[in-house]
Chains A and B, each alone.
Chain A
Amino acid sequence: MIRIIGALVGLGFTFVVMWAFGNGAYNAITEDHVPAAEYTYYKKPVAPAGGFQQDGPFGTWDLAQLQRGYQVYKEVCAACHSMKFVAFRDMADLGYNEDEVKALAAQVQVPGIDPNTGEATTRPALPIDYFPSPYPNNVAAAAANNNAIPPDLSLMAKARGDGTNYIYSLLTGYGPIPAELKADFPDFDTPTGLYFNQYFPNLNLAMAPPITSDGQVTYADGTEATVDQMSKDVAAFMTWTAEPTLVKRKQTGWPVLGFLLFATILAFLSKKQIWSAVKPKKS
């Protein structure tokens, strides 16, 4: 009885799903499938020449690069983008000593409260303060940016597939619409207020090219501030903000794996030894 009911239920589901299959197949054949420019011309992120020092299982931070990246963030990105999960105290990881961290923090004004009147005011940041937001709230952010709220950048490198390379590719990927795209999709155009970028999933991005010319920031360590270099540096910096423990994680992983390998070999020998008494003799 169970088997008869079961067979009926099974055939029922099969029929309905094949009905959907037939309808879908009919539609697929009869309807024209219009490819979208977003599918054809979207490019996967690419790594910069030479890659990043933190990549790979033995990667380490390039502290000088992270410091340069912070400078790019502060002088370029921070005008619109917050980084609310990063505190100035975290900057000690970038190779700054305690006084330098204090000085870095003090360069930035954060919202404060006047101790005498209780009114909202600003004060120089302390190491325990988090990076301030450029806008007091989302409404202000949207109003100032043509209704596109600039996303928080703390986790950007983890919030996109292949994040570090995505940031680098996006920053260097602005340009005119290629002629082939225009030929394939004559209707495709970038609306006013948006910018064409093949590394952005729908090809049109609300962010104006932020890094536009060589020498836009002046690096203290003498590195030449080309567009490519700045994009790379800020991508590395955002990798660190997304996961400050990245290098520590990998470096902890190696001894753990080594120990486990050793323990597993021991366990294997022990298992083999215990079972040797009852294994059938090969004749």
Chain B
Amino acid sequence: MAETTGTATSETAVENGEDGVRRRDFINIAALGAAGVGGTAVLLPLVSQMAPSEDVLAESSTEVDVSGIEPGQAIKAIFRKQPLFVKRLTDAEIAEANAVDVGSLREAETLDDRTKEGNRDILVTMGVCTHLGCVPLGAAEGEVKGEYGGYFCPCHGSHYDTAGRIRKGPAPTNLLVPEYEFTSETVIQVG
């Protein structure tokens, strides 16, 4: 309110010096200002009701047991209603990922940046192509893994390498690694 009344006084003072006129304008502008503030305040609930509701927000963590994943295999889990890829890399895949010149990548990240200390073979990424959100292939047995042996998005032909980094195609960034931690030797909690 202080804001509205403030502008009202300065405007009327500039416009008119006479006392009665100033008072009149002041009251009318203050009343209009109050209506404006009230109307704006109503927007708060009207806008925020579209934001995720509490039950949706509460679902934003997922636990995955990684003990059953064999090297070279991946499983798909669900995190925030989107696919999550958890893959156990083979030694060959780790070596291939580490052999890449990081400077040549579209988004410069090493495999170590994208995995956790002590579990360098566990690669956790969102299964969401960073181009337009399709689910890349390569997680399930027998799917096309793309030219770089990782993931391949069939929608517009983005190729990801064994560390889930974008190597070819329209996608702008590497597959997102969500926040996660190992809550035990074999269980990760995402989110």
A interface residues, Cβ below 8 angstroms from B: 87, 89, 127-128, 259-260, 262-263, 266-267, 269-270, 273-274
Contact = CB atoms under 8 A, between A and B. Distances in A.
List of 6 A-B pairs having minimum Cβ-Cβ separation, nearest first: A263-B34, A270-B31, A266-B31, A89-B58, A128-B58, A270-B27
Contacts of B28: 270, 273-274
Contact of A263 (B31, B54, B55, B58): B31
Contacts of B54: 89
Majority-rule SS of A interface residues = helix
Contact of B35 (A89, A127, A263): A263
A260 B55 CA distance: 33
Contacts of A127: 58
B58 A269 contact: no
Contacts of A259: 1, 34, 37-38, 41
A274 B55 CA distance: 51
A280 to B, nearest CB: 20
Contacts of B30: 266, 270
Interface of B: 1, 23-24, 27-28, 30-31, 34-35, 37-38, 41, 54-55, 58-59
A282 B16 CA distance: 30
Given A127-B58, A128-B59, A273-B24, A260 B31 contact: no
A267 B31 CA distance: 5
Given A269-B27, A269-B31, A262 B1 contact: yes
Contacts of A87: 55, 58
Contacts of A269: 27, 31
11 contacts: A87-B55, A128-B58, A259-B1, A259-B34, A259-B38, A260-B38, A266-B27, A267-B34, A269-B31, A270-B31, A274-B28
For B38, B54, B58, the residue with the greatest tally of chain A CB atoms inside 10 Å of its CB is B58
A273 B26 CA distance: 11
B157 to A, nearest CB: 34
Nearest to B29: A270
A55 to B, nearest CB: 26
A128 B38 contact: no
Main secondary structure of the interface of B (DSSP, over half): helix
A269 B37 CA distance: 18
A267 B27 CA distance: 8
Nearest to B35: A263
A80 to B, nearest CB: 26
Given A269-B27, A273-B27, 6 more contacts: A128-B58, A259-B38, A260-B38, A263-B35, A266-B27, A273-B24
A270 B24 CA distance: 8
B43 to A, nearest CB: 14
Contacts of A128: 55, 58-59
A100 to B, nearest CB: 16
A156 B27 CA distance: 49
A262 B33 CA distance: 12
A8 B28 CA distance: 56
The interface centre, meaning the residue of B1, B27, B30, B35 with most chain A CB atoms within 10 A of its CB, is B27
A266 B8 CA distance: 13
A89 B54 CA distance: 9
A128 B55 CA distance: 7
Nearest to A269: B27
B172 to A, nearest CB: 33
B67 to A, nearest CB: 12
A263 B59 contact: no
A269 B58 CA distance: 49
A267 B37 CA distance: 13
B110 to A, nearest CB: 33
Contacts of B41: 259
B117 to A, nearest CB: 25
Contacts of B55: 87, 128
Contacts of A267: 31, 34-35
Contacts of A274: 28
Contacts of B35: 263, 267
A262 B5 CA distance: 13
Nearest to B1: A262
A196 B59 CA distance: 45
A81 to B, nearest CB: 22
Residue among A89, A260, A262, A270 facing the most chain B CB atoms (10 A cut-off)? A270
A260 B39 CA distance: 11
